[in-house]
Amino acid sequence: MGNYSVCWCFTRKFKRSEAEPPTDVKEAFKKYSGDGIHMTADQFRRFLEEYQADDGQEAERIVEQILHKRHHLAKFVNRKSLSLEDFHHFLFNTDLNPPIRSQVHQDMTAPLSHYFIYTGHNSYLTGNQLSSNCSEVPIIKALKRGVRAIELDLWPNSSKTNVHVLHGRHHHAACRTLTSPVELMRCLKAIKEYAFTASPYPVIITLEDHLTPDLQAKVAQMVTETFGSMLFFPESEKLKELLTPESLKYRILISTKPPKEYLTAEDDKQSRSRKCQVSDDDGVCYMLQSENDIEGKTSPSSPVYKQLIAIHAGKPKGGLKHALKVENDEVRRLSLVEQALEKAVENHGHDVVRFSQKNILRIYPKGTRITSSNYKPLIGWLHGAQMVAFNMQGYGRSLWLMHGMFRSNGGCGYVKKPDFLMGYGPKNEVLNLKAKIPAKTSLKVNIYMGDGWHLDFKKTHFDKYSPPDFYTRVGIAGAPVDKKMKKTKIKEDNWTPVWNEEFTFPLAVPELALLRIEVHGYNMSEKDNFAGQICLPVSELRPGIRAIPLCNRKGDQYTSARLLMRFEFI
């Protein structure tokens, strides 16, 4: 008997049944089509306007597109209406019916400090933080994804004649040589070429510099020559207020520490002979020698270099409370390592929010994240930190949240901060996350079904002898009070699982909530198989029935794997 059951296993192997449209889809079709058989373009427009809260302007074009794609003969038989299957095909198509809008729709005329900025950390590393190669390729990848802030670590090459980009947090030579360098010029050229492929809004280059004064002058020259008119030169030495993303379109900004100034020739000689020492993750020690300086006069630091710096950075002196002081007449960038942010938020949460209303706050991963893992980004965002710097070459749930956040606002790399972080309350107050916050709204999520894995994966990927056993995890990442994960039942042996399950998530801070979706193939004996994920900003979700594309672990979209879901705010 045992042998028979094995044979039976093989005979049913990988049969894929077409799942029929969910009940909600059938009912919507029946309601809007009138006769329950054909849906005209006008009826379809009504469905888009009323059920999907869309403007319906594209209705006719979409109907034509679907008929053309699904029925090549449509133009000969003059078909002008959709069948239930056509309607379901539309709803389940991620290009025609995506869950969020793809246009920039937020106000882009506020100062830069009013936006979250898509920020990379050690943007030139191809893999881990210790021994991976340095290259311009990860920079190009990041820019193509819409990242707007790129970090470069600058070191002299071995003969001190040129500038290399490499990771050198550990200062003794043995550690430094593990990552093979890339020439600065290659990075600059890559930035110039790809800066605006994904977004027209400004790219900020943060420099961490360990250079001699003559090499710093060389950097100034390279940057100026490479970027030309793209480069933004601030009008005065210290900006009183940051400019807007709109006014900085197609521009490149440099952010780093200003060069040190020396008053005497003697100081100057000492400064030249002294090697730069760096103790934090952010540029230090700028001493540029200007050719026009007369021996013994003031300030041998290069004016050219100084003029390049659009956003001045500084290391906190005298404790966090002091570092978070807001100056009336200047804006600056402050960088904190992830643990310092946690401490700052614990003891001076209000000051952190206040500081980042006017200034730029950058958070970076701690040095022990050798595998290019990342920290939880929401603690930074919930306190107004614009530059939550991430290792884009790593992957994992934190990076998925980062990708999710910056799907907002058309994926342009700048996301307007919610009003509660800008102190727009009646008493100019900001949200206190430690207080008990009531729910503002609830998001109701229906997970109907999934499809497309049979096209993206090998037949035996999930299970050697039978179709996969899929389940979906869905939940919210956001303010601590909103965090929650739920999961559907496991659907056994099906490439097109139908769950038809409904979940409701109350939201106290919907503005910063992300909807987390993961699909897994259940595996009794080993770890469950990953089958796709996506994070979507709740504030951008379009209500109605939507096709949800799924991405791989690295965040790249699969060709076909997707879910059919419904969103409703109640």
Residue with tokens 């400090």: 113
Residue 375 has which token pair? Answer: 């920290």
- CA-to-CA distance for 257 and 337, rounded, in angstroms? 17
Q: Which two tokens stand for residue 360?
A: 């730029």
Residue 516 and residue 474 in contact, taking contact as beta carbons nearer than 8 Å: yes
Tell me whether strands 115-117 and 149-156 are parallel, antiparallel or unpaired. unpaired
- Asked whether 512 and 484 are in contact (CB, 8 A), the reply is no
Ordered DSSP codes for 305-346? HHHHEEEEEE---SHHHHHTPPPSS---EEEEEHHHHHHHHH
Q: Are 394 and 374 in contact (CB under 8 A)?
A: yes
Q: Please tell me the predicted confidence (pLDDT) of residue 398.
A: 94
Flag residues of the chain having pLDDT under 70.
1-17, 72-78, 169-178, 261-301, 316, 424-429
Sheet containing 484-487: order of strands = 484-487, 470-477, 514-521, 529-537, 544-551, 557-569, 441-451, 498-507
Structure tokens given for 198: 């994904």
Residues labelled catalytic = 121, 167
291's CB contacts (< 8 A; 6+ apart) are none
Residues contacting residue 229 through CB under 8 Å, at least 6 positions apart: none
| Residues 274, 211 contacting (CB under 8 angstroms) | no
Supply angle C-alpha 465, 466, 470, rounded to 5.
Answer: 135
pTM value is: 0.88
- Residue 189 CA neighbour count, 13 Å, CB half: 8
Are the C-beta atoms of residues 500 and 26 closer than 8 Å to each other?
Answer: no
Reference 80, options 97, 63, 99; nearest CA is 63
How far apart CA 519 and CA 553 sit, in angstroms, is: 11
For position 290, what pLDDT does the model report?
Answer: 32
Please list the residue range(s) of the chain that carry CATH number 2.60.40.150.
Answer: 439-569
What CA–CA distance (Å, rounded) separates 413 from 475? Answer: 24
Cα 221–Cα 225–Cα 231 angle in degrees, nearest 5: 100
Task: Tell me which residue of 420, 394, 421, 418 sits closest to 405, measured CA to CA.
Answer: 418
Give the Cα separation of 448 and 444 in Å (integer).
13
First to last CA, the chain: 55
Query: What residues contact 481, with CB distance under 8 A and at least 6 apart?
Result: 433, 436, 437, 508, 509
Beta carbons of 464 and 10 less than 8 angstroms apart: no
| Residue that the structure tokens 């997707």 belong to | 562
DSSP category for residue 560: E
One-letter identity of residue 58: E
- The fold of 112-421 is TIM Barrel (3.20.20)
| Gap between the Cα atoms of 535 and 99, Å rounded | 11
Does residue 144 contact residue 130 with C-beta atoms inside 8 Å?
A: no
CATH number of 23-91: 1.10.238
For residue 121 the two structure tokens come to: 């950390």
**Alpha carbons 201 and 164: distance in angstroms, whole number:** 27
Q: In 3D, which of 14, 17, 16, 7 has the Cα closest to residue 460?
A: 14
- The CATH homologous superfamily for domain 439-569 is C2 domain (2.60.40.150)
Distance from the Cα of residue 226 to its chain's centroid? 27
Query: At 151, is the secondary structure helix, strand, or coil?
Result: strand
Residues of the chain with CATH 3.20.20.190: 112-421
* Phi and psi, residue 456, nearest 5°: -95, -20
Q: Which 3 state secondary structure label does DSSP give 442? A: strand
